[in-house]
Structure 1
Amino acid sequence: MRAVVINCTLKRSPETSNTEALAAVVEDELRARDVKVRSIRAVDLDIPPGVETDLGPGDAWPGVHRTLLESEILVIASPTWAGHPSSIAQRVVERMDAMLSETDDAGRPVAYNRVAGVVVTGNEDGAHHVISEISGALNEFGYTIPGQAWTYWNRGPGPGPSYLDADSGRDWSASTARAMASNLVAVAAALAERPMPAPPS
């Protein structure tokens, strides 16, 4: 089984990413369950705006798209900015929109029989809103969202420290991340055993 984690931090490598740090807890648990994990920091790639899979020379999205199709599990990790997903996360979701018109050899949307989850960090409130926005989009594209397929950490209302700067709440975020990974693997395995058919016309 394979998973891809798309980190939608605004920070370019090698800058430290709080979002990457919490996503790594999910990655470690996935690997402990014999899942091969690839991590992509989207901001490091040239991903122009658009709703097509390939926008031509210089577009890095086709490579990400191939990784999506090679993976049974997708995790999108995003910081919270002004209560919303990062602009990078929005860009990723917009480019994934092209998957709505792509089908596999059995006539199913290409995202069918794949599962997805969300990781959110931020030193402000709004994590549940970010989870809902991203999960809703992924479900629309055809991904299955298992129960409790998310984890988050935030400081709460007002300014404050970031994930790596504070101990408060991190144990809860980590245990929720491990539960998230377990649920993603369980549902991905179930779909592999009994795939969803193509939708009726």
Structure 2
Amino acid sequence: MKAIVLNCTLKPSPHPSNTEALARVVIAELRQRGVETELVRIVDHDIRPGVESDMGEGDAWPAVRERVLAAEILVVATPTWLGRPSSVAQRVLERMDAMLSETDDQGRPVAYNRVAGVVVTGNEDGAHHVITEIHGALGDIGYTAPGQAWTYWHLGPGPGPDYLDDERGHEFSARSARIMAANLVGTAKALAERPLEAPPG
């Protein structure tokens, strides 16, 4: 089983990423459960704006998309800015919009029988809103979201320290990350054993 984590931080490598730090807790648990896992920092790639799978020469999305579709588990990790997902996360979702009309050789949407989770960090509130937005979009595309397939770290309303700068709340976030990983793997295994069929029509 494979998983891919898309880190939608605004910070290019090698800058430290609070979102990546929490995502790595999920990655560690996935690997502990035998899942081959990779991490992609989206801002390091030239992902062109648009709603097609390939926006032409120089567009890095087709290669990332190929890795996304090779994985049974997708995790979208994003910081919160102004109570919303990052612009990078929004671009990923916009590019994935093309998957709505793409089907496999059995006529199923290409995202069927794959599961998705969300990681959110930020020094302002809005985590549940961000989780809801991303899970809603991925559900439209065809991903299955298990219960509690998320983890987040926020200290509440207003600005404050970052995840890497403050130990408060880490225990909750780490426990949620482990639960998230377990639920993602369990649901992915269930779908592998009894896959969803092509929608009627």
Does residue 87 in structure 1 map to residue 55 in structure 2? no
User: Partner residue of 1:62?
Assistant: 62
Aligned to 2:79, what secondary structure does the other structure show?
Answer: strand
What one-letter code is carried by the residue in structure 2 that aligns with 1:114? Answer: R
User: Partner residue of 1:24?
Assistant: 24
What one-letter code is carried by the residue in structure 2 that aligns with 1:164? Answer: L
Aligned to 1:20, what secondary structure does the other structure show?
Answer: helix
Counterparts in 2 of 1:163-178, with a 5 A limit? 163-178=163-178
Does residue 157 in structure 1 map to residue 188 in structure 2? no
Counterparts in 2 of 1:1-201, with a 5 A limit? 1-201=1-201
1:12 and 1:104 map into 2 onto residues whose CA distance is 34
Provide the TM-score with structure 1 as the length reference: 0.99
1:15 and 1:78 map into 2 onto residues whose CA distance is 15
Q: Provide, for residues 55-105 of structure 1, a one-character-per-residue CA deviation record: whole Å limited to 9, x for no partner.
A: 111000000110111000000000000000000000000000000011001
Aligned to 1:79, what secondary structure does the other structure show?
Answer: strand
1:47 and 1:158 map into 2 onto residues whose CA distance is 31
User: Following TM superposition, by how much is the alpha carbon of 1:41 offset from its aligned partner in structure 2, in angstroms?
Assistant: 0.3
RMSD: 0.4
Task: State the identity as a percent.
Answer: 70
Long gaps (5+) in structure 2: none
Aligned to 1:137, what secondary structure does the other structure show?
Answer: helix
2:158 and 2:111 map into 1 onto residues whose CA distance is 37
2:12 and 2:155 map into 1 onto residues whose CA distance is 23
2:59 and 2:36 map into 1 onto residues whose CA distance is 26
1:174 and 1:80 map into 2 onto residues whose CA distance is 18
1:190 and 1:77 map into 2 onto residues whose CA distance is 24
Long gaps (5+) in structure 1: none
What one-letter code is carried by the residue in structure 1 that aligns with 2:179? Answer: A
Regions of 4+ moved over 4 Å = none
Aligned to 1:180, what secondary structure does the other structure show?
Answer: helix
User: Following TM superposition, by how much is the alpha carbon of 1:158 offset from its aligned partner in structure 2, in angstroms?
Assistant: 1.2
1:159 and 1:57 map into 2 onto residues whose CA distance is 40
User: Following TM superposition, by how much is the alpha carbon of 1:159 offset from its aligned partner in structure 2, in angstroms?
Assistant: 1.3
2:159 and 2:122 map into 1 onto residues whose CA distance is 10
Provide the TM-score with structure 2 as the length reference: 0.99
The aligned length equals 201
